[in-house]
């Protein structure tokens, strides 16, 4: 259940940003290739934000599609999983260029 720790990290980051003001909304990017389950984050967020500056804030999760670049032929492609071979030449060892990230993109704070 590492989503709980991740969610607490998100909340702490927002609290640091809000310094006592109310947080209205948070946008979080979660890569499709990562192991983070967005529904679990959403669930933990509601539970963990109670009684904090983030209570009632809208959490928007944006999924970032996986992308990779082939080490052998240089092709760029959409990746469905971390260990997909290159769609163009079939080689393994495609370098993941997007889809593993997990970051807070935007925090909206009340004035
Ligand atoms: Zn290739």
Q: Cβ distance 56 to 90 under 8 Å?
A: no
The answer as to whether 15 is a domain residue is yes
Q: What is the CATH number of the domain that holds 49?
A: 3.30.2320.50
Give CA–CA dist 82/92, Å, rounded.
10
In a domain, 89, yes or no: no
Report CA(29)–ligand 1 centroid distance (Å). 28
Q: Which domain holds residue 56?
A: 2-65+98-109
Which protein residues have a CB closer than 5 Å to ligand 1 (ion)?
70, 72-73, 75, 86, 88-89, 91
Count of domains forming the chain: 1
Q: What is the pLDDT along the chain (111 residues), one digit of tens a residue?
A: 589 999 999 999 999 999 999 999 999 999 999 989 999 999 999 999 999 999 999 999 999 999 999 999 999 999 999 999 999 999 999 999 999 999 999 999 998
């Amino acid at each position: 259940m590492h989503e709980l720790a991740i969610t607490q990290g998100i909340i702490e980051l927002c609290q640091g940003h809000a310094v006592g003001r109310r947080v209205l909304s948070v946008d979080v990017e979660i890569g499709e290739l990562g192991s983070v389950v967005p529904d679990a984050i959403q669930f933990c967020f509601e539970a963990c934000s109670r009684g904090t500056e983030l209570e009632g804030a809208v959490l928007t999760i944006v999924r970032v599609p996986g992308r990779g670049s082939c080490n052998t032929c240089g092709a760029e492609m959409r990746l469905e999983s971390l260990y997909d071979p290159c769609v163009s030449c079939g080689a393994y060892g495609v370098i993941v260029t997007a889809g593993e990230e997990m970051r807070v993109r935007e925090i909206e704070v009340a004035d």
